[in-house]
Chains A and B, each alone.
Chain A
Amino acid sequence: MAEHKVLIMGIDENDPLDYERAEMADLDVEFVKANPQSEGEAIELVRDADALMMRSTPYQGEQVIRAAEKAQVLAVYSHGFNQIDTDVCNEMGIIITNGAGMCMEEVSNQAVTMILCLNRQLIQYNERTKAGKWGRGGGLPSIEPIDQQVLGLVGLGNIGRQVARKMFNGWRMKVIAYDPYCPPWIAQEYAVEQVFSLHELFERSDYVSVQIPLNKETHHMMRKEHFDCMKPTAYFVNVCRGGVVREVDLIQALREGKLRGAGLDVFEQEPVDPDNPLLKMDNVIVAPHSAGQSTRSAWLARQRASQQVAAVLRGNWPSAGQNPEVASSLQRRDRMQSLEPKLEASREVLPMAVLPEGG
């Protein structure tokens, strides 16, 4: 029997597992591929697994996680891990890892695409021109000079920083951000002005673009009170998770002209209801939650997830661990080498200043 059992849920049974095997080549691992058809089946599968790799399966709720008594790590392939109950994982001593970095380019490019399409009225002109209507203006809003506009980012994590870099370096936009968890020195590095209230961000921005994880704190974080303070000429872009926005409030705000339009890659309910009013609005451009897609992100997600699992099985902290609080409930804390977090922090630490006298 192999030392570690790695359960991969939501994968084709003929998949050769090239990435998973390559990253764990030095470990004694038995891979189990599964597509459970019921929660009961999933519960049986996870019982003796040392690692859970969750690709796409509806069965990852509390009962399934509670049954994973041996599991050290739960790896999701995506950035978002809102479907996983973090509290239960903390209690069970299961480290959650995500696919950090697997689609930063792709998602930030989608945000930039939305911003540019909204600025240039591209989708509207495309439809009109193809319909044989030749003409500029014609009821469409004026096109503002983007280099004189303000981009407001909600969330200045990996993806937000890339959007900031592209729009500042490439388009010379003024970039401001609301992210109370972002150290000020990171904002400075990206030439971003940090603002400390979401209202201020919505008031000042010509485009608001959201790049945050969906969790208890961010659910419906953007709602009527925020849309109400937008400039009537401003646009709202969401490429992260639908649930961070109270969608009925966005719809109402668009109807009332509180903002000029929106670019949405995500919706509260997915697949989106064909009757969703957002799909009928000329000033709203949409995509089917495709921001993360590319031929690279497809395999990078698998490689990243495999690297995270491999790190944990080797007894190290993973570089993309998402629930550091789990450390306090880890039974095996003595065995774990906290290599990566330690170095993560020590990277911040460089030459000592000239200390005043006695320093």
Chain B
Amino acid sequence: MADDGIRILYLGPQGGDTHDASQTEQQSRAARQYGAEFVQYSGSSEGELIEALKDADCVINQGHGWDPSLFSHMGNNGRCKGLVSFGHGYDGMDLETAAVNGVVLSNTASFGTEEVSNQTMMHFLVCSRKFVLHDKLVKAGEWTRQYLPPMGHIAGQTFGIVGIGNIGRAVARKAQAFGLNVIAFDPYRSSWDAKEYGVEIVPTLKELAERSDYVSPHVYLDEGTYHMFSDDFFSQMKPTAYFINCSRGPVVDEPALIRALQNGEIAGAGLDVFEQEPVDPDNPLLKMDNVAVTNHYASYSEIAWERANTQLGEEAIRIADGYWPMSLINPDVKHHAPARRDPISWEVMMANR
């Protein structure tokens, strides 16, 4: 190759032939501003992809399949130094293989923090106010207050957050505005951080289950969090308490949640995610009047989407130009890759260019 400029390779959904022009404009914005080349991958075989990687400095992956063996052509073994994934979750990404090959991985951290925390608060209010049932009753012509008790006061009740990351903190802040006491289980969060957020850290999930009137996980999905909420957890919850989930379906053992709801071990649930998506129309959770459901759109808004799209491009340029990304998801790579510059704001990168 004669060119020595930066080149970003964009991988869209496999088989998806239509690229939305406005999305492409957002995703390629950073490359254009930085004077880098933005190339849309059009191949369809692994061999073609390996060839394409030889002419790219960083990959953006949005819903394209990704075989971990591709990492062996990147990082310490090739021109392409990293990969940026669209979204928060990286459930399908093999972090370790990337790390040992010196491949830097990033995501679009926090793009939907406002949206997910708002969805969580909506589900919490819908549960607490028994909205689903009463909406149904009123529309069916039944005007009654007989199903209201027990109903919490909210102010003074306890909201339990599992995972006090960006979204957990936003939920905490909003819950505090309702006068809720916020407690959290997060074994990786320091006590001084928790104090800064005005949150009490509890040492065990059991204590969180026992004390909370509302429980909301904000964790990522991996082997450590898979089925983190199962029979044990639900049986420790108060019978008047609600379970909200706007993170990932499989962190919950769904049959156990269904049992707990059917047996009255908990009062209800608000769910944006399911173990199987799209959710099975026969899933019993869809038939319950004390369960509110949405179709995994917690992080959506046009602004969030644009933020994710532009952040993708900025992170790719950081990786391509020798910076660490702002949202490094495989920090172990620091053991295997050469030193890089600390990540800095996009505006400052542009000014220093």
Q: Do A and B bind each other?
A: yes
Does B272 sit at the interface, judged by CB under 8 A?
A: yes
Q: In the complex, which of the residues B113, B220, B337, B344 contacts A181, with contact meaning CB atoms closer than 8 Å?
A: B344
Minimum CB–CB distance for B139 against chain A, Å:
28
Q: Is A213 at the interface (CB under 8 A from chain B)?
A: no
**Stretch of B8-16, B33-41, B150-158, B254-262 contacting A (4+ beta carbons < 8 Å):** B8-16
Interchain CA distance A189-B246 in the complex, whole Å: 19
Sample (19) of A-B pairs whose CB atoms are under 8 Å apart: A104-B196, A180-B344, A180-B348, A183-B109, A184-B345, A185-B166, A194-B345, A325-B339, A336-B335, A338-B331, A343-B188, A346-B329, A347-B166, A349-B90, A350-B88, A354-B297, A356-B16, A357-B16, A358-B13
Which A residues are in CB contact (< 8 Å) with B128?
none
Instruction: Tell me, yes or no, whether B214 is within 8 Å of chain A by CB.
Output: no
| Contact of A347 with B165 at beta-carbon distance under 8 Å, contacts A189-B170, A319-B190, A355-B62 already known | yes
A324: interface (CB < 8 Å)? yes
Considering only CB atoms, which chain A residue lies closest to B347 in the complex? A196
Which residues from chain B contact A336 at a C-beta distance below 8 Å?
Answer: 335
Q: Is B308 positioned at the interface, with any CB of A under 8 Å from its CB?
A: yes
A353 close to B (CB within 8 Å): yes
Q: Which of B109, B196, B339 contacts A349, CB < 8 Å?
A: B109
- The yes or no answer to A345 lying at the interface (CB within 8 A) is yes
Question: Do A324 and B13 touch across chains, with their CB atoms under 8 A apart?
Answer: no
Judge whether A327 is part of the interface by a CB distance below 8 angstroms.
yes
Name the distance in Å between A304's Cβ and chain B's nearest Cβ: 8
A345 to B222, CA, bound (A): 14
A179 and B347 CA atoms in complex are apart in Å by 11
Q: Assess the B343–A181 pair: CB atoms within 8 A.
A: yes
Q: Which of B191, B308, B332, B342 contacts A342 (CB 8 A)?
A: B332
Option from B13, B88, B326 in Cβ contact (under 8 Å) with A351: B88
B87 cross-chain contacts in A, Cβ below 8 A: 352-353, 355, 359
Taking Cβ atoms with an 8 Å cutoff, the residues of A that contact B are: 100-102, 104, 158, 161-162, 165, 179-185, 189, 194, 196-197, 319, 324-325, 327-328, 330, 333, 336, 338, 340-359
Contacting B300 at CB < 8 Å: which of A343, A349, A350, A353?
Answer: A353
Minimum CB–CB distance for B40 against chain A, Å: 14
CB contacts (< 8 Å) of B297 on chain A: these are 354
CA distance A122 to B287 in the complex (A): 66
Interface residues of A, dominant DSSP: loop
User: Given the complex, which residues of A lie within 8 Å of B348, measured CB to CB?
Assistant: 180, 196
User: With a CB–CB cut-off of 8 A, which chain A residues contact B188?
Assistant: 340, 343-344, 347
Tell me the nearest residue of chain B to A90, going by C-beta.
B339
CA distance A357 to B218 in the complex (A): 25
Residue pair A359, B13 in contact (C-beta under 8 Å): yes
Which of A101, A182, A325, A354 is within 8 Å of B334, CB to CB? Answer: A325
With a cutoff of 8 Å between Cβ atoms, the chain A residues found around residue B91 in the complex are 352
Question: Which B333-353 residues have a C-beta within 8 angstroms of A?
Answer: 334-335, 337-339, 342-345, 347-348, 351
Contact B167 A350, beta carbon cutoff 8 Å: yes
User: Given the complex of chains A and B, what is the CA–CA distance between A340 and B14 in angstroms?
Assistant: 35
Q: Would you give the 0/1 interface string for B18-31, flagging 1 where the beta carbon is closer than 8 Å to chain A?
A: 00100100000000
Tell whether, in the assembled complex, residue A350 and residue B247 are in contact, meaning their CB atoms are under 8 Å apart: yes
Q: A356 with B113: in contact, given A350-B219, A351-B88 (CB under 8 Å)?
A: no
Q: How far is the CB of B30 from chain A (nearest CB, A)?
A: 13
Contacts of B167 in A (CB 8 A): 350-351
Q: Which residues of the other chain, A, contact B246 by a CB distance below 8 angstroms?
A: 351
Instruction: Using CB atoms, name the residue of chain B closest to A195.
Output: B347
Q: Which residues of A sit under 8 angstroms from B296, Cβ to Cβ?
A: 351-352, 354
Interface residues of B in 178-199 (CB under 8 A from A): 186, 188-193, 196
Instruction: Give the distance in Å from the alpha carbon of A340 to the alpha carbon of B169 in the complex.
Output: 19
Q: Among the listed B63, B89, B163, B335, which residue makes an inter-chain contact with A356, where contact means beta carbons less than 8 Å apart?
A: B63
Q: Across the interface, which residues of B come within 8 angstroms of A161, CB to CB?
A: 196
A101, closest chain B residue (CB) = B192
Closest to A338 in B: B332
A338→B13 contact, CB < 8 A: no
